[in-house]
Structures are given as structure tokens and as C-alpha cells.
Amino acid sequence: MFFSHFIKIACTLNNSQNNVIVILQKELVVLTKIYFILYTLLKRGGIAMTTLHELLNTPRFSDLELLTEGVDTTHLSLKNVEITETPDVAHFISENTLILTTAMIFKDKQNDLIDFINSLKAANAVGLGIKTGRFLEKVEEHVIRHAQKIDFPIFNIPDTYSLGGLLQQMTSILWKSQHEELLFALDIQRKFSDLLIQDVHNEVIINELSKMVKSPIILINPFHRVLNASSHFSHPNNPPEEYVTKVFRSKALREKEEGYFMITNSQGEDIPAALIPVYVHKYFPHYLIVLNPEKIPYPISNFALDQAALILSFVLFKNEKVAESKIIIESEHFKELVGNHLSNTASSDEWNESGYKYGFKESNYYRMVRVYQLDEIDTDKTSRLLQEKSLLTYQWLKWNIDRYSEDAKIIYFPSSFELYILLQEKPEDLNQLLLTMQQKLRLMLPINVGFALGNAFTSWQQIDKTYTQANLAFDELKQSSNREPIVYYQDKGILQLFNHLDAGDVQYFCQTVLKDFAYPEDPNLIELRKTLEVFLNCQGEIARTASQLYIHRNTVKYRINRCEEILGSDITSPEESLNIRIALALSRQHHP
């Protein structure tokens, strides 16, 4: 909710970079503090770092006996402690809850205790403390063995304890732990707020966070490209890219979007890695990778990482809006160039002065390629998902286009999300070049692009023509059923005048001129329409028409007479003939 509010604020800013930075900084600090308060309230003071192992090894609980030997309790963090005597309590507890009970309902049926333990395990409870000596003399061995088998800790509570008193003592320890975490979290929040005010770079935030949590950290973009890494990766034999590859390989195998994964470090040791999404946009997050998160020292809670992810979201979004202001300047310059071409007022000197500045080069080959999302062909609206895909496609092309064409220029219009490649050198195999880029991008993210191409021109003064043709090719594609990934502009002659007319108006024109021949389904009408088209293409010559259709001349005459009856007009009339030719061509393109 707060991030969407932040985005709305950023999008209302003008193109001034100073305004962007100053206003975003103020908003970020305010929103960060609000987020901290709500996080604290919702999480009841943060995620407790007290584990079951630490709790059971507290001196005051030295007489609590862990019955399930071999079950690891060091990683089991506690949030809550509850007392229950109901067998279905698993449906009503939160995760990381420790259950205390006298087990009186299992007094004469300890076999049912196994089902109870299974339900607690399924609910992600931390463990079960059973008070013996009153209802149960002891927990039977087969119950303990089952708990060991499913890795679920059970400990014995002597009859000298009051469960109410034990609950109070344990809760007191938990809240003391959470209080320390809150104080530490406040310190983290203050440090990150100061970093925002100072307008620091991502690299500073990553290194500061790494110092706080005492763990190596990597920040990557949605394409898994390393943006920043902590100083742990400064040695050339320990590149962060290797860890990124291993984490996402493990992620693919586990079919998880985030969380903890096991990977191998540069020394061949198995270590855990945390993958934390950083949402600059809704669908395609950046990520923080934290190595050895289990070794993060107390009292640092997950709040530190959440806070860092939030701050990085804001900073990355701010950087993106600043970059967008530069993109807008470039796109406006392109519009001016196109306008000057049309009026022929731009000189070679003006081209050299301004064109080179923005990546345009003098060449004898110019061809515009409109890059579109295949998803957008069948919709008239640009969804949030399509907008993100268009932006990410632009970013990927900006970073990688030199690998495919050194002189290509990427042009992007942020307001309409239109994306173009201006080729300024002739590629050896244009189709293969475009298909390779499409496949490479699709390997990185679920983004499938297509290309609409204008014709190639030899002068920079004709860039406006190839630009217009690329858009016409795209518009024609949307009107057709063609879903090929590459389409070329084709000159349609007089039919181009109808390109921007409403489809309903075109269909009305076709039905008015062609009558039953507009969109026929009856086989006889279809055959008559075919004869009519061939007759007009043969300039009204009976013999040529008969030859092309492999029918008798008298059959042609009969069919043409029948066509004139249906149309109610003389098809040999120049005016009627022109209207019929246009309507026949348009009805093929605009079938309802």
C-alpha cells in the first residue's frame, strides 16, 4: 500500500532530477518510519530470535528434560507459548508456537498422542512440553520414537511445575528477547533513514547492511545481473556471479520464489543462502542474496533485512525515475528529428551536432524496428504487467544491443511504453539477429517479444519514413490473425488510406458496396466473388478470366451477369469498379 502511494507521488513529478531526488528522499523517510511502526505492531515486536534450545538451556529450566534425543532444537525460533488440553489445537495456533499440556485427554490412550504430535508438526509448532506425574506417569517409548522419526521435539515437565507459572516465565524471556530486538531495529531504522537523507549509492547501503548482519550480500536485478556486492567479493577468485547462478539453480530445483537455499561456496562447503525479493515493480523483483543467514548474530532479526529491502526498493525506484527523465529527453529529441525530416529543415550540421550526442550515426542504412510484446497484440489496453515487460525489455536491450549490432540505437517512449530499435548498419542476417535476441530475452524472463519492421533507407533524412512504416506494420499485424514474431511493412497503395479508420466503418463500407459478396459463407456466393475478383484483375477481359479459372467463356459471362444483379451496378463502370476493388481488398483484411 505504501509503495503504491510512493509510486503515485514519483509519477507526478516533472522531469527535473533535483525535484525527483529531493521529494523522493522526504517521502522515503516518512514512509520508512510508517512501515517500521506498522511492522512492529503487526509482528508484536519483531520475530523472536530465542530458540527452543536457548530456552531449555536457561538455568531456571534446568529440570526440563528433552525426551527426543538427537532432534535439533537450535534452529527452532519461538514466537509464542500456549497451554492447551484440546486435541485439535493445531487448527488455531500460529507458526513457531510452543505447546504446554498435561495430556489428560491421552491418559489411557497414548496412541492418540501420535496423531496430536503429527498435527502440531503440520502446523509448524516448535515443540511439545508434557507435564507428567498427574495424568501421565511418563511418555511411552513408541510415542518418543515417533517424535524422533519426524524430527519433532518433546520435553518432560516435572509435576512440581504449574503450567500457568511456566507459561509466564517463558513468555517473560521471549518478550525480553523481543524488546532487545526492538531497540536494535530502531537503531537500524535510524541508520537507514540517515542513508536516505545523504542520498547514498546502492553500494553504500549494501556494505552497511553487510556490516550490520555480518554476512556477505549481493544485490541483483530481475535479469540476475549483479548490481552491487559487499566487500566479501572483492577477490577475483570469489566472484558474486557464481553465487547468483548457484542460488537460482537451486531455486529452480526447489520451485520456490524466495526463502532459503543450499549452495556450495568457493571452498566447496555447503552453505545456506537467503533470497529476498526487492520490489521496485509488482511482477519482476530485484533480489538480495544473503549468504550464511543462519549466522546472523543476535539481536538482529529479519526486520533488518526487510528494512534494507524496503529502502533499496525506494532507492532503485528513485534511480529509475531519474533515468526516465533522461529517456524522455532522448525520445523528445527523436520526435524533433522526425519532425525536421518531414519539413526538410534539418541540415547535416544540425544532425552532426545533436544526432551524435544521442547515439544517431551517419550511415547509408537506416531501418526502424518496433519491438512489441506478443501479449499486447490481442488487447487494446496496456496492463501493468505489459508496462513492466516493456520497461524490462528496454533495459535488457540497452545493456545488450552492442552484442548484436554496435551501431543500433534504442528508442523508448515511457508515456506510451513504445519501444524501437534503429538499425544504423546492415546486418548479415536480420531475421536471425532478431530471433536470437528474442530467445535470449525469453531465457531470462517470461517475456516474449515480436518485431515490426519498416523498410530500409539510405539517408538519415528518411528515418521518419521507416519509423512510420514500422508502426503501420504493427497496426496491420493487430488487425490480422498473423502471429509470426517478425513482420515487415508492405506497401498497400491506396489501401493505406484506410489503415486508421474504425473497423466498423470499414465493414459498413464493404457491406454497402459488395452486398452479399462482402463476407460470404454460401459456397455459390464464394465462387461468384472469386470470379468477380479475377474478372476485375484481368481488366474485364472474358477470355483471360476464363483461362485463369479453367472455365468456359459463357460461364464467365453468366457469372458476371449474376454478380451485377446482386450488386445492382455495372461493374465495368470505372467508378463502380474502383469501389468494388477497394471493398474486396478491405473485406479480406477486416473480416468481422
Per-residue pLDDT of the chain (592 residues; tens, 9 = 90+): 444 444 444 444 444 444 544 545 555 555 555 455 444 444 444 444 578 988 888 877 878 999 999 999 988 888 889 999 988 988 888 889 999 999 999 988 899 999 999 999 999 999 999 999 888 989 999 999 999 999 999 999 988 888 888 888 888 777 766 566 666 666 666 777 777 777 778 888 888 888 877 889 999 999 999 999 998 888 888 899 999 998 888 877 666 667 778 888 878 888 888 888 999 888 999 999 988 876 665 555 566 677 778 878 888 888 888 888 888 888 887 887 776 654 455 556 655 566 666 778 888 899 999 999 988 777 766 788 899 999 999 999 999 998 888 889 999 998 889 999 999 999 989 999 999 999 999 998 999 999 999 999 988 888 888 998 999 889 888 877 778 899 998 766 555 556 666 778 888 888 999 999 998 989 999 999 999 999 998 989 999 999 999 999 999 999 999 999 999 988 888 888 888 988 888 887 655 5
Q: Is 410 part of any domain? A: yes
Q: Is 246 part of any domain? A: yes
Residue identified by cell 527426543 is 68
Among residues 25, 24, 26, which one has the least CA distance to residue 11?
24
- Same structural domain, 159 and 220: no
- Same structural domain, 58 and 106: yes
Q: 313 with 222: CB under 8 angstroms? A: no
- Same structural domain, 307 and 246: yes
Query: What pLDDT does 1 receive?
Result: 41
Q: Is 333 part of any domain? A: no
Dist CA 297 CA 261 (whole Å): 19
- Same structural domain, 118 and 107: yes
By residue range, what is the domain housing residue 114?
A: 52-175
- Same structural domain, 536 and 581: yes
**Per the structure, how many domains does the chain have?**
5
- Same structural domain, 266 and 369: no
pTM: 0.59
Residue 271 bridge partners (DSSP)? 263
Q: Is 210 part of any domain? A: yes
- Same structural domain, 220 and 281: yes
φ, ψ for residue 477, nearest 5 deg: -60, -40
- Same structural domain, 380 and 419: yes
Q: 301 with 291: CB under 8 angstroms? A: no
Domain boundary among 446, 469, 491: 491
Indicate which CATH number applies to the domain containing 555. 1.10.10.2840
Indicate which CATH number applies to the domain containing 169. 3.40.1390.20
Indicate which CATH number applies to the domain containing 419. 3.30.70.1230
Q: Is 186 part of any domain? A: no
99 Cβ neighbours under 8 A, 6+ residues apart: 82, 83, 84, 89, 93, 120, 125, 127, 128, 129
Domain boundary among 285, 303, 318: 318
Dist CA 256 CA 245 (whole Å): 15
Query: What pLDDT does 130 receive?
Result: 95
φ, ψ for residue 409, nearest 5 deg: -120, 130
- Same structural domain, 207 and 287: yes
DSSP labels, 62-98: TT-EE-STT---TT-B--EEEE---TTGGGS--TTEE
Other residues' Cβ atoms within 10 Å of the Cβ of residue 255:
6
Q: What type of residue sits at position 29?
A: V
The radius of gyration computed from the CA coordinates of the chain, to the nearest angstrom, equals: 36
- Same structural domain, 223 and 117: no
Q: 256 with 242: CB under 8 angstroms? A: no
Q: Is 290 part of any domain? A: yes
Q: Is 184 part of any domain? A: no
Dist CA 252 CA 334 (whole Å): 42
E strand or H helix that includes residue 96: none
Q: Is 88 part of any domain? A: yes
Task: Characterize 481-517 residue by residue with b for buried, 16 or more Cβ atoms within 10 angstroms of its Cβ, and e for exposed.
Answer: eeeeeebebeeeeeeeebeeeeeeebbebbbebbbbb
Q: 480 with 433: CB under 8 angstroms? A: no
- Same structural domain, 479 and 539: no
- Same structural domain, 478 and 542: no
Indicate which CATH number applies to the domain containing 281. 3.30.450.40
Query: What pLDDT does 255 receive?
Result: 66
